[in-house]
Structure 1
């Protein structure tokens, strides 16, 4: 394994999961699972409560290498899975609930979450999704805005990497990332504009707050945003990955993009939000085994070819971080075997049973 050379950007990964019962239906034990895993675990990173009591979240510490992130994600998933099993539950890495649910999940008893549920109604209670968020260090917010403009065109390609919500509500949705469609119902979700300045970014956020379309700055749900708590760009584009390896692949590609953009002095490419939104729809539909709009031409190409071009673009940054071989191997594996959505779809096609998909994702088959 190659080691980083010189200074590299640090990064971190956050993963959201469903906590389900033995059959695969949403459980209300998420809070208990998080608390028990925290008490029993000794892994680096942090475990957190989520919007509903059917979810759990894990976050790595600040990482410098992909091996470090992979070790932490495996450990955190293991802690949560063991705590879930002790309560007759399972940990499910899926972007959307696999089985149909008769009742919406309960909101976690937290003042902020309860306020969100009251203010946003069915959007908060039925847009139930689990994502993977990647934080990449940036020098300052002004630089972050400049970088954001350069990486926007690559968001569709990143969406394909961990697309993992093909089967939802007991049927094949026809999408690789159905989560992305569900999540887009939030008023602040979707692709970020091409900002002329940090002032423009802040003016939009201020207008959202005054309009009540967000309740606080934590609800800035753009697919990539300036983090409110850390000096990072936060990529929020992705489904929770089916495997830790795919989550870390997403993370190193995101880090490579940021590092490459930091060294780019050319003006950001023009890409309207209307076009980018349409491109993201296509990427969410087809995933890594289908076609994806290429950032340079806008034309559809095999997603693997677009990811190959992404690696070629970011190769110097990937190599400096010790990630180049890992990224090449990861994308080659996706091209050969498919990602989480493809594995879901193949398993569901065998018997048309959502429970079989749950077993696959929970590691029971």
Structure 2
């Protein structure tokens, strides 16, 4: 039986602010945030050419979709007012200014002081899915059951093939960039929340992380909310991709909670196999070979997607998300991943302006009408 009340969920998305002509990042976030002050959702990110949005806590896929569209359209309109474009891409297609664009925040300044090279390369954009859990003890057990699925979630979300004005050959160039951080890895299997806390304390004590927020596990207990936070994905090319990711993650969490109630032990694929799967997902997305997390053998990525859907089928049906997930997956299969679409746009573009225009349109195009933004 799933928890009495369906798990709530929410999404944090990170976006780029790009010049509409040159395609280069624009450090316009402070002005944009002044423009949007008082509106729920937008916030500062590591670099001033980035913007973060956070949905409200949602109970249903429909509610979450409306939130994703609201925030994307509001931020896109504000970006236009500020003379730039909001673009959902895991990496900037054109060179970034590095630490010169660092957001003026005490914590960010300390990160840059301790880890200058890593911080300078971290102006990348992810999608973080939060799902409520009954307790931190439940959360730790849920994390153990999410580990095998992290590569498949990454493969579905890949959206950063272009960086520094070239096709990198990766479907998610963001992933290897972020994986350079010493804590940006799949979570180990912890016996309980106390063991989780001890492990994080050691990482911080040994200098691998500044604080709990900068322990960048690909799935973790949120340092701020009563949720688990899945951080493996690139920002979705469009709101539908973000919704698909969130629906599947909630289905995985609900399935895990059912298994915990039934005292079913978690799977224990080895760390090396999960890392190999993540590397394959980042390189190929859904178009090349994947790694089966249980056997280490080569697999077709869509076979692993279907396995995930089968694994979560009962939970998705109970949550009312089965039809939504099926429809979104069909759409993704038809149009390709964000990486596939960005590569196609890159090949079509005759100039940086063409590329930015198409990526910006994809970012907001699912919304119906713009949210009015007045200048401050």
TM range (shorter): over 0.9
Match of 2:163 in 1: 168
Q: Residue 16 of structure 1 aligns to a residue in which SS?
A: strand
Q: Which residue of 1 aligns with 2:244?
A: 249
8 Å Cα contact 2:46-2:123 kept in structure 1: no
Higher mean alpha-carbon deviation, 302-311 vs 354-363, is at: 354-363
Larger CA deviation: 275-284 vs 287-296: 287-296
2:279 and 2:180 map into 1 onto residues whose CA distance is 13
For 2:374, the equivalent position in structure 1 comes to none
Aligned residues: 358
Q: 1:315 to 1:103 in 2, by over 3 A?
A: closer
TM-score norm. by structure 1 comes to: 0.93
Q: Which residue of 1 aligns with 2:179?
A: 184
SS in 1 for 2:312: helix
Moved more, 94-103 or 124-133: 94-103
Q: What displacement does 1:120 show?
A: 0.8
Counterpart in the other structure of 1:34: 33
Q: Per-residue CA shift, 1:269-319, capped at 9, x if unaligned?
A: 122222211110011111123332233433232222211111111111111
Normalising by structure 2, what TM-score? 0.90
1:193–1:272: 8 Å Cα contact kept in structure 2? no
Give the distance between the partners of 1:325 and 1:294, measured in 2 at CA: 26
Return the alpha-carbon distance in structure 2 between the equivalents of residues 122 and 352 of structure 1. Answer: 33
Equivalent position SS for 1:15? strand
Q: Distance in 2 between matches of 1:293 and 1:103?
A: 34
The aligned residue for residue 156 of structure 1 is 151
Distance, in Å, in 2 between the alignment partners of 1:316 and 1:357 is 41
Q: CA deviation at 1:336?
A: 2.2
**Distance in 2 between residues matched to 1:211 and 1:296, nearest whole Å:** 32
What do the CA deviations read for 1:247-267 (whole angstroms, capped 9, x no partner)? 010000000001001111321
Rate the CA distance shift 1:245–1:266 in 2: closer, same or farther, 3 A. Answer: same
Q: 2:265 aligns with which of 257, 264, 267?
A: 267
Aligned to 1:77: 72
Q: Which residue of 1 aligns with 2:14?
A: 16
Larger CA deviation: 347-356 vs 201-210: 347-356
Q: Find the aligned partners of 2:307 and 2:269 in 1 and give their Cα distance.
A: 18
Change in CA separation of 1:315 and 1:89 when aligned onto 2, cut-off 3 Å: same
CA distance in 2, matches of 1:207, 1:363: 44
CA distance in 2, matches of 1:275, 1:352: 41
Between stretches 291-300 and 347-356, larger displacement belongs to 347-356
Of 103, 128, 131, which aligns to 1:133? 128
Task: Indicate conservation of the 8 Å contact 1:194/1:271, yes or no.
Answer: no
Provide the residue aligned with 1:53 in structure 2: 48
Question: Is the alpha carbon distance of 1:228 and 1:101 closer, same or farther for their aligned partners in structure 2, counting shifts above 3 Å?
Answer: closer
Tell me the distance in 2 between the aligned counterparts of 1:339 and 1:266: 34
Query: Which region of structure 1 is more displaced relative to structure 2, 313-322 or 329-338?
Result: 329-338
Following superposition, the deviation at residue 156 of structure 1 comes to 0.4
Residues 43-88 of structure 1, C-alpha deviations (whole Å, 9 max, x = no match): xx41110111111110001001111111111111111111111111
Whether the 8 Å CA contact 2:140–2:192 is kept in 1: the answer is yes
Name the CA distance, whole Å, in 1 between partners of 2:11 and 2:100.
Answer: 25
Partner of 1:135, secondary structure, is: strand
Equivalence for 1:339? 337
How far does residue 102 in structure 1 lie from its aligned partner after superposition?
5.8
Cα distance, 1:104 vs. partner?
A: 4.7
Q: Give ranges in structure 2 of 5+ residues lacking alignment.
A: 366-376
Q: Distance in 1 between matches of 2:268 and 2:313?
A: 23
User: What CA distance in whole angstroms lies between the structure 1 residues aligned with 2:146 and 2:182?
Assistant: 22
Q: What does 1:1-365 correspond to in 2, within 5 Å?
A: 7-23=5-21, 24-39=23-38, 41=39, 45-101=40-96, 104-264=99-259, 265-350=263-348, 355-363=353-361
Per the TM alignment, residue 246 of structure 1 is displaced from its structure 2 partner at its CA by: 0.5
Q: Secondary structure at the match of 1:263?
A: helix
In the alignment, structure 1 segments of 5+ residues that lack a partner are none
- Cα distance per residue 1:200-240 (max 9 Å; x no partner): 22222111111122111111210000011111100000000
